[in-house]
Amino acid sequence: MQVIAGIFFHFIGGFASGSFYMPYKKVKGWHWESYWIIGGLFSWLIIPPLAAWFTVPGFADIIRHTPMETIRYTVLFGMLWGVGGLTYGLGVRYLGMSLGNSVVLGFCSVFGALVPSVYYNFHPHAGKTTFTELLTTPWGRIVLVGVLVCLLGIYICGKAGIGKERELPDAEKKKSVSEFNLAKGLVVAVVSGILSACFNFGIEAGKPMADAAVRAGFNPLYQNNVIYITLLWGGLATNLCWCAILNVRNRSYGDYTDAKTPLLKNYLFSALAGTTWFLQFFFYGMGESKLGNGASSWILHMAFIILVANMWGFVLKEWNGVSKQTKWTISLGIGAILLSVLLVGYGNALK
């Protein structure tokens, strides 16, 4: 039951993450940096302490008594992740929901899933899975096979995206993705995927705060909510700085009060996008409490995000007009990712 509950929570988190960009598409007349930072204020500043207040009401005391070194590393990884988050938004902007998410999350999956286990090989910690353990145990090898199958699925999805680039004329591509640019999109997507994995490293760095929450008697299901507060401070810092720079450079600072745009709707949709974004990690923390913050939790989270994002890609007709072969290719990639979820879940059931 623990494994099933963990997979279910990761699915809800993945659905939130794969869907959060949809409300942004309803924002009219604003530059990207304007709606991104309004959504970000809800994602990283407003909602996390509210969620912690409801689930870990003693979070302020826990943070106050946490060693400064732990806070420093958690915020640092948050800042690095923040750069990944910025480039994620650009990746989706240039590549679309399907291809953008597949490339970004492919790199994010590898680094986020395996680097912590390699780290614990050299710095063992009770309850943490090492890379050696993954290699030498039956359940660990099944999980690794699941990771490899997931990467294969992501590669196939990327191949389908390249097929789409070759087959569709520019006018058709820009109907579904108004700023489609394969070369620029791939560069920012690779950078985003690598740096976005730092969120997982930040969870590891802030684990003493989660442990303190459990020792204080709070429900282990919500233990990570105290980590997110400090981790997302770092993400807010990088995103706020960059969006402010873009506001000045593009003279878009007037968006926030431009009466020619539907201001109320723009603020509401941006707030909805930001809140939905935070829910991915609210439920990730719940799934992680059941499966542990090892390769399994991260790869499941990434796999569900890719599946949901590709579903939205079909809804938004991003694949209309391509050949049957390309449609079969993207379907095969999605099928491989689904198989990887089953393999990772089965491996954890054997643990």
What letters, b where the CB count within 10 A reaches 16 and e where it falls short, cover 219-249? eebbbbbbbbbbbbbbbbebbbebbeebbee
Of the two residues 248 and 153, the one the predictor is more confident about is: 248
Would you kindly state where each structural domain of the chain is located, as residue ranges? 2-350
pLDDT tens for 153-176 read 878 877 887 777 677 666 555 555
Sign, CA torsion 93/188/238/195: positive
pLDDT of residue 278: 94
Q: Position 208: which residue type?
A: P
* Greatest Cα-to-Cα distance within the chain, rounded to the nearest angstrom: 63
Is the pLDDT confidence value at 242 over 80? yes
Mean pLDDT of 22-37: 93
Rounded to an integer, the average pLDDT of 81-105 is 74
CA angle, residues 158, 173, 19, in degrees to nearest 5: 60
The pLDDT-based confidence of 179 (bands split at 50, 70, 90) is low
Q: Give the total residue count for the chain.
A: 351
Cα(226)–Cα(336) distance, rounded to whole angstroms? 35
| Rg of the Cα atoms in the chain | 20
Tell me the percentage of the chain whose pLDDT exceeds 70: 89
What pLDDT, in 10s, does the model give residues 45-60? 999 999 999 999 999 9
Q: 């993945």: which residue's tokens?
A: 14
Cα 217 to Cα 14: distance, rounded to the nearest angstrom: 28
Report whether pLDDT(197) > 90: no
Q: Does residue 345 or residue 219 have the better pLDDT?
A: 219
pLDDT of 184 > 90? The answer is no
Residue 107 buriedness (CB in 10 A; 0-12 / 13-18 / 19+): buried
Residue 283 has a pLDDT of: 92
pLDDT at 172: 56
Helices 97-122 and 68-95: crossing angle in degrees, nearest 10, is 150
Q: How confident is the model at residue 104 (pLDDT cuts 50, 70, 90)?
A: confident
291-333 pLDDT tens trace: 765 666 777 777 787 778 777 777 777 777 788 898 888 888 8
Neighbouring C-alpha atoms within 13 Å toward the C-beta of 143: 30
More confident residue, 232 or 289: 232
Contacts of 33 (CB under 8 A, 6+ apart): 242, 243, 246, 247, 250, 252
- Give the per-residue pLDDT at 170: 61
The per-residue pLDDT for range 249-274, each reduced to its tens digit, is 999 999 999 999 999 999 999 999 99
Tell me the backbone φ, ψ of residue 319, rounded to 5 degrees.
-110, 10
Q: What is the mean pLDDT of residues 10-38?
A: 91
